Structure 1
């Protein structure tokens, strides 16, 4: 006999019967969605054609069956001038769930197109953290106009959140949580939860607080449901808990959730009082956002959002291209210094791109590993030396391997001396790439700058310059270009 609890057939609800429950792949059969759960081009075209023809009823019928997340995707697939028409056609479907799923730039455009009363109606349907995300990018004047239409209690909560810096726990936390005094029993807590009308829509644990509203422990809902009613909360609560300071950066919050396997955590103010909670669904968005942000910063591509205004995208990218132009001139000056040698031995010009390309790729590899290690707190001040030594050894082994291959090929095609020169230059350049790939991001981090910000521009400059200098310098020193 299995230890699992057995229920009679009559005790199982319809949703719990496997054969009668909604299958995960039911939506794949929908004419609107393809096998990857993205909207089909034909379906999007039909919606846009109906919008253009002014057939709002047809548009509504087409869109009404969609999940809120799919409706948000539909807005992003439409042109900017079509989005306002779509919002009007499906106004009854434009609930908080759709708004919360919209891309930041698309949502900002739509909020600016709606009047303050309409925005306030949407805001009042949202959790505080979602409401803040909705209006934080609006102009100050528009923010005040919207807040003036919001109920006083919601307005105070939103204004309190907006008072914290962006990307901090205070800005992102939910102010809807369950906190009870520690003198209650499990039964009293259950009765409270059943009788209370204003509970959060989702929560995973109950916070236990003292008389000063300082968190002293937590009770997971599973414990509450499986513990006898007469047991005091103080006897079953978990006293060790991870507390998140209200000013902590969102990336550090995500690392805490990952490190301690948290589902939710209390957020405390400067005096240690409980003021909110962070939940794992918030963290999933943060992790995705931070990962994408670091990847784009490594290339200097700005936000990298396809909905970003062209002027903003241009501004974000061109400044790093200009910086790259300046760093490229350094390598060009080194080449110019050896111009006479290159004229005498054309093979040097043929082989130079190989030295630069391999060095740049090696530097990018090391830099990517280093930036990730910094972002996940794997690389700290206490182990920087060890990581640098590790990457130096990896770079040396890579250099030996590549130098043997390129040296042998060059010796066979040109001369053994030139093969030895490019082999030595390759080892020097890959060692340089390994050092630069660690030291450049670490230097950014020590200067309190984001280590992902266009580190590749500086690493590439170092590897190109050192590669050309080593290769051409060794060629001249060996007498090849005399």
Structure 2
């Protein structure tokens, strides 16, 4: 080689934008912190170079990164910086990056792309990932993207879009590997080696009958360790978990968890194999469903820090108005005992403790019940046993808290009667919390209403109302306000 072969590339504004020449990209350990998150210093450096017009510098920083890290970078920069960052990284933002990106951020970027560009990206992805990108687009944009796709890709995506949202049909991949049951292991191996259209990511082969209905499944490890002359029907496992195409994705995730599945065949109404779902698809579903339930329990719905402000305000305000209504009901109960409270101001000081502790106990019980319902651990066959268990827990907790609070109130306010009243009220409200914490989610489940959405409102209302009513009612009967 000549000396010119090692000549350094030109440095200056012409080569690296208007600013200073970019330095070498930081090593991976300087991009991430100990929790594998992008460091704020790295994100700031990317933004600074972007603002300074140093496009080559931005690309040099981002190009070595994994697709998931590039997606994280877009979520961490400001909303106004995302379009210019996308323009600077033209060619680096492929389907893998968009598939890893937050839904709201991805929608913003897709709005900046033409239908042809979106179609090119979708064509690179598995069908399920392509559907995730296209399904939330406006109908006119969706049609434009579908027209720009290859016929085979368009047919697969249109078929997926015909299934209900959050169903196995939307989640599945179409490129399941299937072989007839009369083949030998040697024929299967030859088919897998010669098949140019076969997906490269699979762990098992599905065995089908002449009607293309799954009759068994065979792991790749079994195929590799079996002599070529043996029929695959003699090796395959006939017991398998089949996923109906219209099954809800949450139920799909539960089946994968229950049966420790790596992949599973998806079948249509006639029982024919139409695709497969793999464990990596289910990991996203588990995370999505868990986050959704947590947000719904708090009344935040499907809130996200990247969601536009007006939608966030509208969603949160709706539930806050509902909670305002329950607070008015609780205040009305307090109003029934104005005379008692006016004679003993200590009641006004202490009554929030009873309702607040009941609310906390109700939230604990409700969270356990909602989780058990989501995991199919709480069913009609054991609901009575769970109800009795939570009732006993509430009784013990209420007695312990009531005893502690009663002694403290007796000593502070020098009133044994007041201590007894608040202790009894604490026991009563904890029992109410235990009862409603299970009863409300189970009842909503029976009524086909998502218990994660509405349980908190009813449980909170019950503990607030009964907390005030039991404490002030007992105080009135005891003659404390006389």
Tell me the TM-score range normalised by the shorter chain. over 0.9
Residue 37 of structure 2: aligned partner: 38
TM-score calculated relative to the size of structure 1:
0.93
Q: Is residue 370–residue 379 contact of structure 1 (8 Å, CA) maintained in 2?
A: yes
* Residues 1:437 and 2:458 are matched in the alignment: no
Shift of 1:442: 1.2
Q: Is residue 299–residue 454 contact of structure 1 (8 Å, CA) maintained in 2?
A: no
Residue 186 of structure 1: aligned partner: 185
Shift of 1:28: 8.3
Alpha-carbon distance in 2 for matches of 1:77, 1:55: 19
Q: Is residue 69–residue 101 contact of structure 1 (8 Å, CA) maintained in 2?
A: yes
Q: Is residue 302–residue 313 contact of structure 1 (8 Å, CA) maintained in 2?
A: no
Shift of 1:345: 0.4
* Residues 1:145 and 2:109 are matched in the alignment: no
Alpha-carbon distance in 1 for matches of 2:214, 2:71: 38
* TM-superposition CA deviations, 1:308-327 (whole Å, max 9, x none): 11111111111110000000
Q: Is residue 96–residue 126 contact of structure 1 (8 Å, CA) maintained in 2?
A: yes
Alpha-carbon distance in 1 for matches of 2:242, 2:264: 6
* Residues 1:467 and 2:467 are matched in the alignment: yes
TM-score calculated relative to the size of structure 2:
0.93
Residue 63 of structure 1: aligned partner: 62
Residue 428 of structure 1: aligned partner: 428
Shift of 1:81: 2.3
* Residues 1:241 and 2:267 are matched in the alignment: no
Task: Count matched residues.
Answer: 456
Report the 3-state secondary structure (helix = DSSP H, G, I; strand = E; otherwise coil) of the residue aligned with 1:227: coil
Residue 337 of structure 2: aligned partner: 338
* TM-superposition CA deviations, 1:318-348 (whole Å, max 9, x none): 1110000000011101111101110100110
Moved more, 444-453 or 454-463: 454-463
Task: Give the 5 Å matches for 1:293-308.
Answer: 293-308=292-307
Give unmatched runs, 5+ long, in structure 2: 1-25
* TM-superposition CA deviations, 1:12-62 (whole Å, max 9, x none): xxxxxxxxxxxxxxx985222222211111211121122112221111111
Alpha-carbon distance in 2 for matches of 1:480, 1:83: 65
* TM-superposition CA deviations, 1:440-477 (whole Å, max 9, x none): 11121111111100321211110010011000001010
Alpha-carbon distance in 2 for matches of 1:263, 1:28: 34
* TM-superposition CA deviations, 1:153-173 (whole Å, max 9, x none): 000000000001110001110
Q: Is residue 266–residue 273 contact of structure 2 (8 Å, CA) maintained in 1?
A: yes
* TM-superposition CA deviations, 1:266-294 (whole Å, max 9, x none): 00000000001011001111111101100
Residue 93 of structure 2: aligned partner: 94
Alpha-carbon distance in 2 for matches of 1:401, 1:31: 52
Residues 76 and 423 of structure 1: CA distance in aligned 2, closer, same or farther (over 3 Å) = same
Alpha-carbon distance in 1 for matches of 2:69, 2:378: 40
Moved more, 401-410 or 150-159: 401-410
Shift of 1:99: 1.1
Residue 394 of structure 2: aligned partner: 395
* TM-superposition CA deviations, 1:99-156 (whole Å, max 9, x none): 1111000111111110011111101100000000011100010001001110000000
Q: Is residue 359–residue 433 contact of structure 1 (8 Å, CA) maintained in 2?
A: yes
Moved more, 308-317 or 204-213: 308-317
Residues 141 and 307 of structure 1: CA distance in aligned 2, closer, same or farther (over 3 Å) = same
Alpha-carbon distance in 1 for matches of 2:281, 2:53: 39
Residue 416 of structure 1: aligned partner: 416
Alpha-carbon distance in 1 for matches of 2:296, 2:140: 31
C-alpha RMSD of the superposition: 1.1
Give unmatched runs, 5+ long, in structure 1: 1-26
Alpha-carbon distance in 1 for matches of 2:110, 2:268: 31
Alpha-carbon distance in 2 for matches of 1:28, 1:204: 34
Q: Could you list the structure 1 runs, at least 4 aligned residues long, displaced by more than 3 angstroms after superposition.
A: none
Report the 3-state secondary structure (helix = DSSP H, G, I; strand = E; otherwise coil) of the residue aligned with 1:93: coil
